[in-house]
Amino acid sequence: MILSPQPADAASFLPFGTLVEKPEVAGERRMFSDWLPAIDGLALQFHLNHVAASSLPLALAQVERHPHSAQVFLPVDVSRYLVVVMPSSPDGSPDVAQACCFEVPGSIGVIYRRDVWHAGMMVLDRAGSFAVLMSRGADQDDVFLPIPPLTLAPAANQGPRLTRNGHSA
């Protein structure tokens, strides 16, 4: 199966989580605390990660989920990145046929809902770093499963385009 990245938008991403976008007005705050409520027996953890650059086409053969907590990714130094998400089948396994791939600019973060199947972070253009927040401390905080291979590739009619910062991609 081939998935082509689509521009991230809040409505399309909502079944899987939310986009973390900066306020447009000076002094305004956007609150996201409800996404990470305190959970008995779990501790909120915060770390930074560094991700090697990827380029399309790209093969994807594994996804993960976090049954006990939402997971937040805030780009610290990222040009743009891919987010692959999919709902669960009735038996709880990833529904690969319903997978979605979003291209997200490095100025926007994502929050995955608790228990949403997703791929590991894939950054484009150059290596990048993210701040990551999630609650941990239960059995199987991280569940990884192999999936039938997916290929992430630009749409056949997608020619050169400009990124949000004006560079060609």
**Residue boundaries of the structural domains of the chain:** 2-22+44-152
According to the model, what pLDDT value does residue 138 have?
A: 83
Mean residue pLDDT of the chain comes to 91
Contact assessment for residue 144 and residue 62, using Cβ atoms and an 8 Å cutoff: yes
Homologous superfamily (CATH) of 2-22+44-152 is Ureidoglycolate hydrolase (2.60.120.480)
| pLDDT tens digits for range 109-147 | 999 999 999 999 999 999 999 999 999 988 888 999 999
Q: How far apart are the C-alpha atoms of 92 and 115, rounded to whole Å? A: 9
Output the CA angle 10-133-45, nearest 5 degrees: 160
Give the model confidence (pLDDT) of 45-55 as tens digits.
999 999 999 99
Q: By C-alpha distance, which of 150, 132, 154, 128 is closest to 62?
A: 150
> Residue 62: how many CB atoms within 10 A of its CB?
12
